[in-house]
Amino acid sequence: MRFTVLPVTTVPISSVWLLFYGQPL
């Protein structure tokens, strides 16, 4: 589980990130 800064270009990944981790970028 990495809490590094993800690229804002990865919109689909952010959605999955939000589903699993429950917090926005």
- Number of domains forming the structure of the chain: 1
pTM of the complete model? 0.31
Interval 2-14 mean pLDDT = 65
Rounded to whole angstroms, how far apart are CA atoms 11 and 8? 7
Q: Which domain holds residue 7?
A: 1-25
Average pLDDT, the chain: 67
CA torsion sign for 24, 1, 5, 16 is negative
At 16, the pLDDT band (50, 70, 90 cuts) reads confident
The identity of residue 10, as a single letter, is T
23: CB partners within 8 A, 6+ apart: 17
pLDDT higher than 60, residue 12: yes
